Amino acid sequence: MSQLTLSWIALLTAGACEIVWAVGMKLSDGFRNLVWSGVTLAAILTSMGLMAFAFRTIPLGTGYAVWTGIGAAGTAIVGIYLFDEPQDWLRVASIAMIVAGVIGLKIGMLR
């Protein structure tokens, strides 16, 4: 497996960890719930470590935009399904545009 492939896998996993730490932070109840506080801290450290690894190969601007895009879209989707947050058409369309941007950045690197 190439270094670039490993970097993309690390970056996607780092984005997933961002979703976990955002949800964990909500569930930690202001860091009063020690279990969720621990999950949050572990996810933050894992996310940052994986992102640092990915930045060895993936350009900073692309990597950071993909990481935040995964985190933003994923956290919004989790909020809709787990926390009964609004799912009106504008919110769903906005999430879709974030996902399209992440895909566009990945495709742009293939050129």
Does an H or E element contain 15, and which? Answer: helix 3-27
Report percent pLDDT > 70 for the chain. 98
- Indicate the DSSP class of residue 88: -
pLDDT band at residue 111 under the 50/70/90 scheme? low
pLDDT of residue 81: 95
Query: In angstroms, rounded to a whole number, what is the distance separating the alpha carbons of residues 52 and 81?
Result: 30
Query: In angstroms, rounded to a whole number, what is the distance separating the alpha carbons of residues 91 and 65?
Result: 19
pLDDT above 80 (res 83): yes
Cβ–Cβ < 8 Å for 63, 11: yes
Q: What is the pLDDT of residues 29-81, one digit of tens each?
A: 999 999 999 999 999 999 999 999 999 999 999 999 999 999 999 999 999 99
pTM: 0.89
Domain total of the chain: 1
pLDDT of residue 106: 83
Domain that holds residue 33: 3-109
